Amino acid sequence: MSLALVHSRALDALRSPPVTVEVHLANGLPSVTLVGLADTEVKEARERVRAALQTSGLQWPANRRITVNLAPADLPKESGRFDLPIAIGILAASGQLDADKLDAFEFAGELSLAGELRPVRGALAMALAAAHEGREARRAMVLPADSAAQAARVAGVRVLAAAHLLDVVRALQPGDAAEPLPPARPLDDDTPPQRPDLRDVKGQAGAKRALEIAAAGGHGVLMVGPPGSGKSMLAQRFASLLPPLTHDEAIESAALLSLTAHGAAQRWGERPFRAPHHSASAPALVGGGSPPRPGEISLAHHGVLFLDELPEYPRSALEALREPLETGRVTISRAARQSDFPARFQLVAAMNPCPCGHLGSLLQSCRCTPDEAARYQGRLSGPLLDRIDLQVEVPTVPLAALSNAPDGEPSAAVAARAAAARERALRRQGVLNHALAGEALERHAALDAAGAKLLEGAAQRLGWSARGYHRTLRVARSIADLAGSEAITPAALAEAIQYRRLLVTR
């Protein structure tokens, strides 16, 4: 047979469209031609496949003209995932495999020169795409062992693991000579994660309370305080206050992480915690490149994005966060294509109040002029601050109080209260409080006459926008849920109001 068709998949953001690898052998001068909008990594497969076949003891078609077409032709193809399907296509077209068996499989894998199979990016995205399709979902996926362990998490798809090209070749031999590939098994990584505990932070009751409210309602937090006051310690322990991911959330989070060069490195079911350096660019935060790759906000999907030294980030990077904070998605547009990534994360940010960091400190005097402090705080735009629900001051704890302070409350106790409040909100309205909008917000966060007058008065005095008004209402709803109250009490509303007073430049 001089023509073979092999099934595989490309990556397009979080989608994984099917690709047919067509291999044709013809008489003529020996050559390998690869077409189908392949980038440099794919074109280099010619040399990897040739060496892998020869070192594995398989026959490279001599004195034949080999044409490889990756269809559809208008879909960009990248990475070394097509090494294995190209090698299988050449072997099938030259009669070394049973070509009739190829339609039952999808192949993806990078080949070493010795024929070993190396992991590929996006294994989970490929399995999810196959599970959501009809006829193609009946095909078994043949992947390198590490990638197969990731893809095996997806229900409804049969995933087979292979460590070497020869393993695949033996499985595709005709008749009884075939040696089936073993089914892939998910990695056994269900050990609870060892996260830093909130009990390590002494003092800072106000900041801890704000983090508890944030965990209960899914709100974003900005902590403002001098250096060494514990802002980073608090942020690093925030993930320990959140409940474990559900199975669907874990699949979606791991699928996004599998698109990166490091793959799905986190423990299964563990909420992501991303803490990029303040030198990160806008594409690093929101995604970009060609082809587009997810940024930090998408890699923090269903988890925590910690931005320390918030005013030090480039202005363009911070402004790019505004839309994802509202919508939970980011769309990356390029001249020839558009990619969409989910980005529903909880923002935890920290900053100093001024360049020297000691504005308002009782322990050290500030060396900054009022103009310098105002310019420093002015690096954060009003529209961005308006989208952060909770702003809390984290003052310096005196050394005497620090040494004599007892251990704080453990994360498990705070997490239990936050989980109960989240469950109360989900039973009542189906979403967490930060996502309440429109008619649902009016119904589930209704105020009595006194509460409405209190909130309207605060909004007028502090100059809030309509967004700030509604976000304060959502925070008050979370505080009431923590207290087990069906109605938003005046005390809950007053506490919610105080978490937006740091918006005023001091």
pLDDT in tens, 41-81: 899 999 999 999 999 999 999 889 999 999 999 888 988 99
Q: In Å, how far are 79, 151, 335 from 129, measured between CA atoms?
A: 18, 11, 25
Q: In Å, how far are 227, 314, 484 from 374, measured between CA atoms?
A: 18, 17, 40
Residue 58 DSSP symbol = P
- pLDDT at residue number 504: 42
Q: Is 249 helix (H, G, I), strand (E, B) or coil?
A: helix
Q: What is the pLDDT of residues 172-229, one digit of tens each?
A: 998 888 899 999 988 766 566 678 899 988 888 899 999 999 999 999 999 999 998 8
Q: What is the pLDDT of residues 92-134, one digit of tens each?
A: 999 999 999 999 999 999 999 999 999 999 999 999 999 888 5
Domain 3-177: assigned CATH number: 3.30.230.10
Domain 198-503 coded CATH 3.10.290.10: no
Q: How confident is the model at residue 503 (pLDDT cuts 50, 70, 90)?
A: very low
Helix (H) or strand (E) holding 453: helix 449-462
Q: What is the pLDDT of residues 263-289, one digit of tens each?
A: 555 577 789 999 999 999 999 999 988
* 158, 183 contact by CB (below 8 A): yes
What gap in Å lies between CA 292 and CA 283, rounded to an integer? 9
Q: Which whole number is the average pLDDT over 229-251?
A: 92
> Above 90 in pLDDT, residue 145?
yes
Domain locations in the chain as residue ranges: 3-177, 198-503
Poorest-confidence range of 5-14, 46-55, 494-503? 494-503
Poorest-confidence range of 165-169, 224-228, 295-299, 337-341? 337-341
What gap in Å lies between CA 97 and CA 53, rounded to an integer? 13
- pLDDT at residue number 137: 55
Q: Position of tokens 């936050």?
A: 418
> Above 60 in pLDDT, residue 391?
yes
What's the burial of 170, exposed, middle or buried (CB within 10 Å: 0-12/13-18/19+)?
Answer: middle
- pLDDT at residue number 263: 58
Which residues neighbour 187 within 8 Å (Cβ) at sequence distance 6 or greater?
149, 150, 268
- pLDDT at residue number 422: 96
Which residues neighbour 100 within 8 Å (Cβ) at sequence distance 6 or greater?
none
